[in-house]
Amino acid sequence: MFRYQRTLRERVEFEGVGLHTGYPVRLAILPAPPDSGIRFRRTDLRNFEIEALRAHVAKVSYATTLMKKGVMIATVEHVLSTLYGLGIDNARLDIDSMEVPILDGSCAPFTEALLAAGIARQEAPRRYIVIEHPIEVRQGDKVAGVYPDATPRASYTIDFDHPAIGRQRISMDLTPEAFRRELARARTFGFVSDIENLKSLGLIRGGALDNAVVLDPSGVLNGGLRYPDEFVRHKLMDLLGDISLCGLPIIGRLEAERAGHAIHTALASLIIRSRECYRILNADEVRPTLADAG
């Protein structure tokens, strides 16, 4: 946990295509003032701003999409997960199309570029959502929740009827170092059997063997995995991106099982509404002995 808010030291830029639209896109992530949060700016639409908050979530089918006054930004979860995982509170994201670039399907390109640019401490106290009572969303056998814990932690469980996946579980403390080491390189994944249906829905037009793990009935179609349990690690990565839409870092234990973007974002929405279950505190109120880390 950090005592002070954090932003980037300098601008970083990315270029690629959107996973679902297939459109070419350029994205720049820039430093931003204290208390400004994470904000997208559509440079192709007169710099129209969309705050990365749960109130602007419009679609959660196969990706998380934000929309404000009819202006859309799709597939935001990977870049938001990176910012949340690295503990970056304030940033402006300039984007010249409607979908964040998929890059290699993981958070690794964002993570390495942001760390190379450097993270700067800001002279403003960092605020936290401190969970005091459980908050849960359940839909059948799918669940996502957050529970009281003095240390930010997260766990995720998946169970796919596929020989390369099966039941997988990961549990970890949430620190920038752990995010970079344990989650950042985990890629999105999909099944050959779903490709035609997704394309018929106008999705995965930018999908390719170099930006996703693709599975056929017998195993992984396109090479080896980056982690033995890369699938569940990617799902936890998605959860962090979606839960960042609460607008503040959480001190508590996140848990999810068989969930997805719809349940992740429903949990973010429920957290915001459940004010009786948490307090918003400055870092010094949470733990006065926090180091003066940047």
**Please, what's the b/e burial string for 103-126 (b: 16 or more CB within 10 A of its CB; e: otherwise)?**
bbbbbbbbbebbeebebbebeebb
261 labelled catalytic = yes
Instruction: Dig out the tokens for 110 from the structure.
Output: 């964002």
Q: Please tell me which residue in 20, 56, 78, 261 is annotated as part of the active site.
A: 261
CA dihedral 114, 36, 32, 112 (to 10 degrees): 0
In whole angstroms, give the CA distance from residue 121 to residue 5. 6
Instruction: Dig out the tokens for 215 from the structure.
Output: 């599975």
SS3 242: helix
Task: List CB contacts of 153: < 8 A, sequence separation 6 or more.
Answer: 171, 172, 173, 174, 252, 253, 254
In whole angstroms, give the CA distance from residue 150 to residue 152. 7
Which residues are known catalytic residues? 261
